[in-house]
Amino acid sequence: MSTTADQHSQVSGAYSRPDVLEEVRPASIPRRPLIENNRSFTWITQKVCGIVESKTPTWWWVAFIICAAIASFTLMGLTYLVSTGVGVWGLRNPTFWGWAIVNFVFWIGIGHAGTLISAILCLLKQKWRTSINRAAEAMTIFAVICAGIFPLFHVGRVWFAWWLFPLPNANAIWPNFRSPLEWDVFAVSTYGTVSILFWYMGMIPDLATIRDRVPMIFEQRMANAGTAGRQAFERFYFGFRRLFYGILSMGWRGSNRHWSNYEMAYLLLAGLSTPLVLSVHTVVSFDFAVANLPGWHTTIFPPYFVAGAIFSGFGMVLTLMLPLRAIFGLQDLITQYHIDCMAKICLATGSMVGYAYMMEFFIAWYGANPYEGFAFVNRAFGPYAWAYWIMISCNVITPQFFWFKWVRENLWLVWILSCFINVGMWFERFVITVTSLANDFLPANWDYFSPTIVDIFTFFGTFGLFGVLFLLFVRFLPLLAFAEIKAVSKQADVHGHH
Amino acid sequence: MSTSSDVISPSGSAAADRGSGNKSFLFLIVGLVLIALSAIGLFTGSETDPARPFVGWILGISFWLSILIGMLFLTMIWWMFDAGWSVIIRRQLEHAVGAFPYLALIFLPLVLLSVLSGDKTGIPWIWMNSDAIVPGGHGTVAHDVLYQSKAGYLGQGFFIVRYVLYFGVWTTLALLFRRWSFNMDRTGDHSNVHRSRKLAAAGLFLCAFATTFAAIDWFKSLNYHWFSTMYGVWFFAACMRAGLSATVLTLFYMAGREDGLKGIIKPAHFYLMGCIMLAFTVFWAYISFSQYFLIYNANIPEETFWYNMRELNADGSKNSWWWVSMGLIFLHFFVPFLYLLWYRNKFAARLRFIAIWILTFHLLDLYWNIVPQKLAEDSHGHYMIRPFGISWVDVTMFLGVGAIVIWSFLKSAARERPIPIRDPRIEESINCHE
The answer to whether the CB of B222 falls within 8 A of the CB of B306 is no
CA of A327, closest CA in chain B: separation in Å?
30
Window A:330-359, CB contacts with B under 8 Å = 351, 355-356, 359
Q: Which of B311, B298, B251 is nearest to B277 (CA)?
A: B251
The alpha carbons of chain A give a radius of gyration, in whole angstroms, of 26
Q: Which of B6, B267, B286 sits opposite A8 (nearest CB)?
A: B267
Rounded to an integer, the average pLDDT of B114-142 is 86
Q: Do A303 and B261 touch (CB under 8 A)?
A: no
Gap between the Cα atoms of A63 and A296, Å rounded: 39
CB-CB under 8 Å, B82 with A297: no
CB environment B278-289: b (16+ within 10 A), e (fewer): bbbbbbbbbbbe
CB contact under 8 A, B298 and A297: yes
Angstroms from B380 CA to nearest CA on chain A = 23
Contact at 8 Å (CB) between B113 and B120? no
Q: Tell me: the pLDDT tens digits for B71-118?
A: 999 999 999 999 999 999 999 999 999 999 999 999 999 999 888 887
Q: Would you give the distance in Å from CA B86 to the centre of its chain?
A: 21
B233: exposed, middle or buried (C-beta count within 10 Å: 0-12, 13-18, 19+)? buried
Statement: residue B14 has pLDDT above 60: no
Top pLDDT among B3 and A53 is at A53
Given CA atoms A206, A207, A208, A209 in this order, what sign does their dihedral have? Answer: positive
Chain A positions in Cβ-Cβ contact with residue B287 (cut-off 8 Å)? 303
Question: What is the model's pLDDT at position A5?
Answer: 44
A31 touches chain B (CB under 8 A): yes
How many CB pairs (< 8 A) connect A and B? 160
**What's residue A117's pLDDT?**
80
> Across the interface, do A303 and B255 touch by the CB < 8 Å criterion?
no
Put simply, the chain B residues between 299 and 358 with a CB less than 8 A from any chain A CB are 300, 302, 344, 347-349
Is the CB of residue B391 less than 8 Å from the CB of residue B152?
no
Q: Is B33's Cβ below 8 Å from some Cβ in A?
A: no
Instruction: Evaluate whether B293 touches B233 at the Cβ level (below 8 Å).
Output: no
Residue pLDDT, tens place only, B272-319: 999 999 999 999 999 999 999 999 999 999 999 999 999 998 888 999
Asked if residues B99 and B110 have their Cβ atoms less than 8 Å apart, the reply is no
H or E element that contains B67: helix B52-81
- Chain A CB contacts of B263 under 8 Å are 12-18, 21
What's the farthest any 2 CA atoms get from each other in chain B? Answer: 77
pLDDT confidence of residue B21: 55
Q: What is the pLDDT of residue A226?
A: 83
Let me know if residue B142 belongs to a domain.
yes
What is the C-alpha to C-alpha distance for residues B396 and A282, in angstroms, rounded to an integer? 42
When pLDDT is cut at 50, 70 and 90, the band that residue B19 belongs to is low
CB-closest option in B14, B266, B426 to A19:
B14
Judge: A11–B208 Cβ closer than 8 Å, yes or no. no
Contact B233 A19 (CB under 8 A): no
Q: What is the pLDDT of residue B314?
A: 83
Q: CB distance B263–A12 less than 8 Å?
A: yes
Task: Determine whether the interchain pair B263/A26 forms a contact, defined as Cβ–Cβ distance below 8 Å.
Answer: no
Residue A171: Cβ-neighbour burial (10 angstroms; 0-12, 13-18, 19+): exposed
| ipTM score of complex | 0.93
pLDDT greater than 70 at residue B6: no
Position A125 scores a pLDDT of 86
**For B53-69, what is the mean pLDDT?**
96
Q: Average pLDDT, stretch B53-64?
A: 95
Task: Measure Cα distances from A288 to A294, B148, B294 in Å.
Answer: 10, 30, 10
Distance CA B256, CA B260 (A): 7
Report chain A residues whose CB lies below 8 A from the CB of B421. Answer: 20, 23-25
CA separation for the pair A371, A91 (Å, rounded):
23
With CA atoms as reference, the chain A residue closest to B188 would be: A27
Kindly state whether residue B8 falls inside one of the protein's structural domains: no
Nearest to A23 among B150, B259, B421 (CB): B421
B311's CB contacts (< 8 A; 6+ apart) are B318, B319, B321, B322, B325
* pLDDT at A320 (0 to 100): 94
Contact A317, A113 (CB under 8 A): yes
Q: Does residue B112 fall inside a structural domain?
A: yes
Q: Please tell me the predicted confidence (pLDDT) of residue A277.
A: 87
Cβ contact A20–B418 (<8 Å): yes
Closest residue in A to B11 (Cα–Cα): A23
HSE-CB at A130 with a 13 A cutoff on CA atoms is 18
Confidence at residue B119, expressed as pLDDT on a 0 to 100 scale: 82
CA B376/CA B382 separation, integer angstroms: 6
> Which of B315-346 are b and which e, b meaning 16 or more Cβ less than 10 Å from the residue's Cβ?
eeeebebeebeebbeebbbeebeebbeeeebb
Which chain A residues have a beta carbon less than 8 Å from that of B212? Answer: 355, 359
Q: Which residues of A touch B302 (CB under 8 A)?
A: 367, 369
pLDDT interval class at B364 (50, 70, 90): very high
On whether any CB of chain B is under 8 Å from the CB of A33, the answer is: no
3-state SS of chain A is: CHHHHHHHHHHHCCCCCCHHHHHCCCCCCCCCCCCHHHCCHHHHHHHHHHHHHCCCCHHHHHHHHHHHHHHHHHHHHHHHHHHHCHHHHCCECCECCCHHHHHHHHHHHHCCHHHHHHHHHHHCCCHHHHHCHHHHHHHHHHHHHHHHHHHHHHCCCHHHHHHHCCCCCCCCCCCCCCCHHHHHHHHHHHHHHHHHHHHHHHHHHHHHHHHHHHHHHHHHHHHHCCCHHHHHHHHHHHHHHHHHHHHHCCCCCCCHHHHHHHHHHHHHHHHHHHHHHHHHHHHHHHHHHCCCCCCCCCCCHHHHHHHHHHHHHHHHHHHHHHHHHHHHCCCCCCCHHHHHHHHHHHHHHHHHHHHHHHHHHHHHHHCCCHHHHHHHHHHHHCCCHHHHHHHHHHHHHHHHHHHCHHHHHCHHHHHHHHHHHHHHHHHHHHHHHHHHHHCCCCHHHCCCCCCCHHHHHHHHHHHHHHHHHHHHHHHHCCCCCHHHHHHCCHHHCCCCCC
Best residue in B234, B294, B337, B430 for a mutation probing chain A (most A CBs within 10 Å): B294
Q: Which helix (H) or strand (E) holds B147?
A: helix B145-150
A363 → chain B, closest CA residue:
B229
Give residue A366's pLDDT. Answer: 95
Domain count of the fold of chain B: 1
**What's the CA gap between A118 and A195, in Å, rounded?**
10
Residue type for B327, please? G
Of the candidates A25, A368, A497, which has its C-beta nearest B149's C-beta? A368
Touching check for A2 and chain B: CB below 8 Å? Answer: no
Q: Under an 8 A CB cutoff, do B422 and A27 touch?
A: yes
Chain B residues 37-96 with a CB less than 8 Å from chain A: 81-82, 84
Q: Which of A4, A290, A359 sits opposite B267 (nearest CB)?
A: A4
State the pLDDT at residue A12: 46
pLDDT tens digits for range A21-68: 989 999 999 999 899 888 999 999 999 999 999 989 999 999 999 999
Q: Which domain holds residue B73?
A: 22-414
Is A297 in contact with B153 (Cβ distance < 8 A)?
no
> Tens-digit pLDDT profile for chain A (498 aa)?
344 444 444 444 445 788 889 899 999 999 998 998 889 999 999 999 999 999 899 999 999 999 999 999 999 999 999 999 988 998 888 888 889 999 999 999 998 878 888 888 888 888 899 999 999 999 999 999 999 999 999 988 899 888 888 887 666 778 888 888 899 999 999 999 999 999 999 999 999 999 999 999 999 989 988 889 999 999 999 999 999 999 999 999 999 999 999 999 999 999 989 988 889 999 999 999 998 899 999 999 999 999 999 999 999 999 999 999 999 999 999 999 999 999 999 999 999 999 999 999 999 999 999 999 999 999 999 999 999 999 999 999 999 999 999 999 999 999 999 999 999 999 999 999 999 999 988 889 898 999 999 999 999 999 999 999 999 999 999 999 999 999 888 888 776 554
Quick one: which of B239, B252, B232, B253 has its CA closest to B363? B239
Minimal-distance CA residue of chain A relative to B350 = A7
Closest chain A residue to the Cα of B265, Cα to Cα: A12
Length of chain A: 498
pLDDT at B8 over 50: no
Closest CA relative to residue A422, chosen from A318, A347, A268, A497: A318
The pTM is what? Answer: 0.94
User: Which pLDDT does position A496 carry in this prediction?
Assistant: 59
Domain extents in chain A: 35-488
Chain A: give the shortest CA distance to residue B430, in Å. 9
The shortest CB-CB distance from A12 to any of B5, B230, B265 is to B265
- Binding-face residues of B in 169-228 toward A, CB within 8 A: 184, 188, 190, 193, 201, 205, 208-209, 212, 216, 227-228
Q: In the predicted model, what is the mean pLDDT of chain B?
A: 91
